[in-house]
């Protein structure tokens, strides 16, 4: 099979990511956790960073939040392989803390390159940090942190793509009471990922 140009470019990028030592997070890296899914998907989903299990397995969403993630996708009728999944921060954040400014500045250019290469039509940031990055990138107003929750499950028009923010699956580990609203918000993914399967409105 002949490798297409996008795959070649991304593989070069991934090699650089795996060799990155631009901030202190590389000292925690056990396995390089690369993006996964469809390199030609029109939907890019952005999580915050690998967790402990992901750092050990080298795959995205393999820990406790991964089980929740898979359940939410299954409920929505969406397959992982039909999305492009990536992380905002490429190495594990110890104790799941938020990235420092220096870590943010060192790591987010990798995601910026991914966006430029893939040119997604819809970006789905998962959680506060990923949404913050996208709002900054798309030059959209940023509300106070406590008000970010009002953006989850809402469509936001960006300059380069449509944005559909969702809560990170980890939210259910801390607050199972969000199951209903998160399931409802994730269910919208089916329309986004498989637009051709949606029934057309009848002409009146």
pLDDT, tens digit (0-9, with 9 covering 90-100), for 116-146: 999 999 999 999 999 999 999 999 999 999 9
For domain 24-192, is the CATH number 3.40.470.10?
yes
Rounded to 10 deg, the angle between the 101-118 and 128-137 helix axes is 70
Residue 107 has pLDDT above 90, yes or no: yes
140: Cβ–Cβ under 8 A, 6 or more apart, which residues? 134, 156, 158, 163
- Comparing C-alpha atoms, which of 38, 41, 17, 42 is closest to residue 29? 17
- The mean predicted confidence, pLDDT, of the chain is 93
The pLDDT assigned to 204 comes to: 43
- Kindly state the tokens that stand for 126: 């998962």
Residue 141 DSSP symbol: -
> To the nearest 10°, the Cα dihedral for 77, 79, 82, 86?
120
Residue 1 has pLDDT above 70, yes or no: no
Q: In angstroms, rounded to a whole number, what is the distance separating the alpha carbons of residues 123 and 96?
A: 23
pTM of the model: 0.93
Say if residues 162 and 134 touch (Cβ distance below 8 Å).
no
Say if residues 50 and 86 touch (Cβ distance below 8 Å).
no
Residue 52 backbone phi and psi in degrees, to 5: -60, -45
How sure is the predictor about 2, in pLDDT bands with cuts at 50, 70 and 90?
Answer: very low
The pLDDT assigned to 112 comes to: 97
Q: In angstroms, rounded to a whole number, what is the distance separating the alpha carbons of residues 183 and 187?
A: 6
Residue 3 has pLDDT above 60, yes or no: no
- Kindly state the tokens that stand for 53: 């299990």
Question: Over the stretch 53-87, which tens digit does the pLDDT of each residue have?
Answer: 999 999 999 989 999 999 999 999 999 999 999 99
Rounded to 10 deg, the angle between the 5-18 and 101-118 helix axes is 170
Q: Where are the alpha helices (DSSP H) in the chain?
A: 5-18, 52-57, 64-76, 101-118, 128-137, 171-174, 179-187, 189-193
């Amino acid at each position: 099979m002949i490798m297409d140009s996008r795959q070649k470019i991304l593989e070069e990028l991934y090699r650089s990511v795996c060799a990155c030592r631009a901030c202190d997070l590389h000292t925690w890296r056990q396995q390089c956790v690369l993006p996964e899914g469809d390199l030609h998907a029109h939907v890019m989903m952005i999580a915050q960073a690998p967790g402990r299990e992901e750092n050990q397995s080298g795959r995205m969403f393999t820990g406790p939040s991964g089980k929740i993630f898979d359940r939410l996708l299954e409920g929505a009728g969406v397959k992982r392989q039909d999305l492009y999944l990536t992380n905002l921060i490429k190495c594990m954040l110890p104790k799941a803390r938020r990235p420092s400014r220096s870590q943010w500045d060192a790591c987010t250019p990798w995601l910026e390159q991914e966006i430029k290469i893939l040119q997604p039509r819809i970006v789905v940031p998962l959680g506060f940090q990923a949404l913050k990055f996208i709002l900054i990138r798309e030059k959209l107003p940023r509300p106070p942190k406590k008000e970010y929750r009002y953006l989850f499950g809402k469509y936001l028009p960006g300059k380069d793509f449509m944005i559909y923010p969702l809560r990170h699956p980890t939210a259910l580990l801390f607050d199972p009471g969000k199951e209903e609203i998160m399931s409802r918000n994730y269910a919208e993914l089916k329309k986004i990922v498989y637009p051709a399967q949606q029934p057309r409105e009848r002409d009146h």
